[in-house]
A = this chain, B = another copy of it.
C-alpha cells in the first residue's frame, strides 16, 4: 500500500500547492478555488496540481488543515506558555487580534471565511470546518472555566458564553478589517474583549 520510496520532492510540491491554495482561498473563498488558475500561478499543469490530492474537494480539505495549522501557530502557540485561565485567555486575545490584522491571510481569517461559505452546504468540507471551529471553542471555554475556578472571572460566568462572545468579537474584527477597511476595528475588538474578560470586581 504505502510507497516503498518516499520522495521528498513530491511532498515539497504538495506543500507549495497547499500554501498557494490557502492564500487564494482566504481571498476568493474555498469554492472559488480553481485548478486552472492555481496551476497558472504555480507554473504547473492542471494535472500536476490535482494529482497529489485526487480531487478538488481533497485539496480543499488539505487547505483547511493547513489554514488551521497556521491559526494554531499564530494564535494558540504564543499563548501556550502562559498560565492556564485568564492569563492565557488574554494572551490568546492579543495574539488573535495581531493575527487578524497581521495580514498572514491576505483575505482575512481563513476558518471564519470557510465557515460562512460552507455553513449551508452539507459535506466533508463543512464537517471539517465545523469540527475545527468546535475544537477552538472548546479550548476557549476550557480556559474560561479555569479562569472562573481561579476566581479571575465572576463565579456566575458561563465558560461557553465567554467563548461565544470572544469568537463573535473576532468575527466582527475580521469583517471590519476585510470588508469595511475600518481602522478602528482592532480597537473596538480589543475593548470588547477586555469587557468580556473583565476580572471579578
Q: Which residues of A contact B (CB under 8 A)?
A: 26-29, 31-32, 106-108, 112-113, 115-121, 126, 129-130, 133-134, 158, 160-161, 164-165, 167-169, 171-173, 175-176, 178-180, 184-185, 188-189, 191-192
CB distance from A182 to the nearest CB of B (A): 8
Query: Does the CB pair B168–A133 fall under 8 Å?
Result: no
Given A116-B175, A164-B172, residue A27 in contact with residue B180 (CB < 8 A): no
Copies in the complex: 2
Question: A160–B188 contact, CB under 8 A?
Answer: yes
Partner pick for A115 among B28, B167, B179, CB 8 A cutoff: B179
State whether A107 touches B120 (Cβ < 8 A). yes
A128 to nearest B CB, angstroms? 11
A185 contact set on B, CB distance < 8 A: 164
Q: CB within 8 A of A192: which of B29, B116, B161, B171?
A: B161
Q: Min CB distance, A97 to chain B, in Å?
A: 13
13 interchain pairs, CB-CB under 8 A: A27-B120, A29-B31, A29-B117, A106-B120, A120-B178, A126-B179, A164-B185, A164-B188, A165-B169, A167-B175, A168-B168, A168-B169, A171-B175
Give A134 to B161 CA distance when docked, in angstroms: 27
A26 contacts which chain B residues (CB < 8 A)?
A: 120
- The residue on B at minimum CB distance from A163 is B188
Whole-angstrom distance between the alpha carbons of A168 and B117 in the complex?
17
In the assembled complex, which residues on chain B have CB atoms less than 8 Å from the CB atom of A184? 160
In whole Å, how far is A160's beta carbon from the nearest beta carbon of chain B? Answer: 7
With both chains docked as a complex, state the minimum distance between the C-beta of A32 and any C-beta of chain B, in angstroms: 7
